Structure 1
Amino acid sequence: MTSPRPDRPDAPFAAAIDAVPERLRGGIAAIGNFDGVHRGHQEVLGVASRMAREAGRPALVLTFEPHPRSYFRPDQPVFRLTPPPERSVVLKALGLDGMVVVPFNAELAATEADVFVDQILRDRLNVAGAVVGYNFHFGKRRAGTPDFLRERGAADGFEVEVVSPGVDAHGEPISSTRVRTALEAGSPDIAAELLGYRWLVVGTVVHGDKRGRVLGYPTANLRLDPACGLRHGVYAVRARVDGRLYDGVASFGRRPMFDDGAPLFETHLFDFSGDLYDKETRISVFAFLRPELKFDSVDALVAQMDADSAQAKALLATATPLSDLDTRLSFEQAAADATFPS
């Protein structure tokens, strides 16, 4: 690995890159935000993986946090499809070797494109190749284009591949915006077709008011990002706890029957007994069952919950994988670590 240019001071992100484990240096880097890791993103990642395997090098993802839109427009929260924990799960299931997260802040936004290439790709990561989408831009004023990266790669001795946009069965470009729109509409099935897997959330189970236990439906409660735009309602889900899968039914919303409070993702797992508090769980969302409702009585609510559970069990019993990735994420019982090794 080469040393940084002596005539150029280290950029503020240098410390974060210097912390990258040695095993990821000299690899093939797929570069982008990859929010959602949808089918279009998977084409970029697939090219990087193929190049890495052919060269006998690691395949890594170079991404940014927070989302650039959150930095430039902090008053307009972004519905993140795959915050870092979720993104790590999906990328690892795809077979990538690691994820490098560059802090997106004022310093990075002001960094010239050539400095980005010099200090991140060449001097610190010492990449043998870089793969980007057709519309990837980087550096101050988005001056770093795919063509610019190709030119720098040719000059600095690393290969650059630019991947065309992924399209759906109708020839329409696949985008994170389309996935968000589907989830906001309560259509996780449409989102799953664009993603190639069931959309999932990752979190640590927190204590709630334990009202579900009284109703006969104890729940594992997750607090999602306040910007999560998933439609409030009831869903058929599958959860992974300690490497095992459990079907269930989940309610996401404000509980209008009781407190109308902050949104909470509450999941009742079928055929599970035990303590879930403080455990990390991963929940795949399969189907929207109904909107969030307020009932005339608790008995009416429980009757509807019985019906919801029966419907969820029937749907999940006939669900089939959408892809090999979906199999690994939502159908295989084998334990799966949610994080990359250091």
Structure 2
Amino acid sequence: MLPRWSNISSGLSTGSASGLLSRLPLIGKLGRDELRVLVQPHQLVLTRLGGWRKQRVICEDVITIARPSPAMAGDAGIPAPAIWQAALTQLALALRDQAWQACEPRVVLSNHLVRYVLIPWNASLSRPEEKHAFVRHCFTQAYGEPARQWDLRVSPAGYGQAAIASGVDPALLQALQHCFAEAGMRLQHIHPLLMQAINETARQRSKRAGKGKRGNTSASGLCLAVLEQGRIAVLLQQDKQWRSVQCHSAHVDALPALIQRDAILAGLDSQPWPVLIYSAEPGAPRVHISGRALQQFSREIPFVRQPGLAETAS
């Protein structure tokens, strides 16, 4: 369910296990620590994990980046390179520190740097090139001509269900590869934050259910909100199918109105549904929404690998 960019290419995934998308290994390379990096326009979060199955946090650092200008943070297409250039410049400097050397790196890209589209099911498409063209068409319909140049990935979905697709500026992917290569590390795993949030929230809900903390199980749907500084992703799920995926330049106090807006646009009544809050950044405050059942989640440290996290879309 977690698409990733493991090499540089301008095409969509073809579903080949030897291609750009593949399953994550159950454990990292024996004897090597793992370096997880969350890249956001305003900060970097670097976490070094070691030990068996990379279960131990060896060190972590949060590096603040100079605030980009508001003109760079619009919703109309991938932002200008400057919104991520400052972060990557700082990352290149940070990777010179011995604390982050000789690791297997994994990068998670902020929702500020990725664009998403919910791809409707289309039974008339059979060949991979037809499916790829349809995904590209959906992105250009949503974001205009700039989307024709983006590197796109599609998350797998069940038969007859809509799929979540991600788009990233290829220049950002190339810059990340170069940044780690200069530090003597090969970057093979780049993930969009939204998909990590979906997977981690699902796992944490399953664990809570196993402990008897089931929450509102009678509702036919749920709202998932992924929070970052100045960015909120709102996902609506009904009968275990995604019905709406929207990202907004907004702060947390706007969340109730955003959920209501997106539900109306999707033709849904989300008022009875529980709201799942995923806080992407360390130390994020808890959220309160009057009249709504809330479940709070945050990133998993260390990252828990399970089969199927990076399956390819056929």
After TM superposition, the score normalised by the length of structure 2 is 0.29
Choose between structure 1 and 2: higher strand proportion: 2
Choose between structure 1 and 2: higher helix proportion: 1
After TM superposition, the score normalised by the length of structure 1 is 0.28
Q: Report the structure number with the largest CA radius of gyration.
A: 1
